Structure 1
Amino acid sequence: MKNYKIHYKNNLAIFELSKILKNFIDKNTILICVGTDRCIGDSLGPIVGTLLTYKLFPLPVYGSISSPIHALNLIEKVSHIKSLHPTSNILAIDACLGDESSIGEIQFRNSPLYPGKGVGKTLPHIGDTSIIGIVDCNSANNIFVNNTIRLSFILDMATIITESLFNCIYLNELQV
């Protein structure tokens, strides 16, 4: 399985996503949540990081609303994180642009995250696996700052991702 897609409004989204994630997350996994708190469309990662931290997620989480990992500090922060966890598996989480028909999809990818790719930035890839939330279409005139992206939409997607990660930990503990 390379990629997995589920719409955030699917009633079983949390359980279906966690069922996939449990095969890729273990005690040696860390999470890097990418994005900025200065733009609603790009705040998915920091909101997930904040929710996980507030709820005391049992694995290391980097990137939050108060300490975001974004294009301007990404190289330095990821390098520091890797020095702290040199043998860890990294799950990267970020917002993404896609086709209009894909808006609202949460995608798990068994591949790294390529931050900034959708907006033409060249940044290093992050992680071994990734979760992306498609928050807008890549044909939008004002990428990620489009006034039509609602904070409630981003928060709903972030909540699905957060709860899926907690459920994944629960599922893995049952199998230990």
Structure 2
Amino acid sequence: MRRVGLLGGTFNPPHLGHLIMAEEVRTFLNLDEVRFMPNKIPPHKNISVNISADHRMRMVSLAIKENPYFQLEAIELDRSGTSYSIDTIRILKNRDPDSQFFFIIGGDMVEYLPKWHKIEELVKLVQFVGVNRSNYDLKTPYNVQMVTIPNIDISSTLIRERLNKHQNVRYLIPQKVEEYIREEGLYGKA
């Protein structure tokens, strides 16, 4: 049975924190691959800077290109409506019955799990993996396997703010992602 990590998010834009999280969990849990799943319409977050799904998908592809264990999973972009994890996991399990899925989430989402859509059913279908994040407590009533990773306090919000102010984002996002953002004129004044 293949061991597959899933890392969902808006990836608006993807940054080195995402890549470090995925690689740390992959090696710790001996996963065969980690799939990055950009959300189309996340149920728990408003996309404050409306960058198209196509741009976000291209940025993820550029960010993960050099790691042979990382793959793009466009399942949520291909569907219409809100990206509920329960629907995604059902489809993935049906499509890939020989895979065991590990849903990688940050400390903020570990705390938020009780509010997830159909969480009682979801925790029976997938193994959640929680990683530490500054200022979040990893307590939850659900079965979440915890993995400690280096604390990298980078957020997509920080990246967008810096780009908008013409500030340096070097070493915060992959160089190819930064080049793409500048070529496409994304995030305001970037």
Larger radius of gyration: 2
TM-score bracket, shorter-length normalisation: 0.3 to 0.5
Task: Give the alignment's TM-score, normalised by structure 2.
Answer: 0.36
More contact order relative to length (CA 8 Å, sep ≥ 6)? 1
TM-score of the superposed pair, with normalisation by structure 1? 0.38
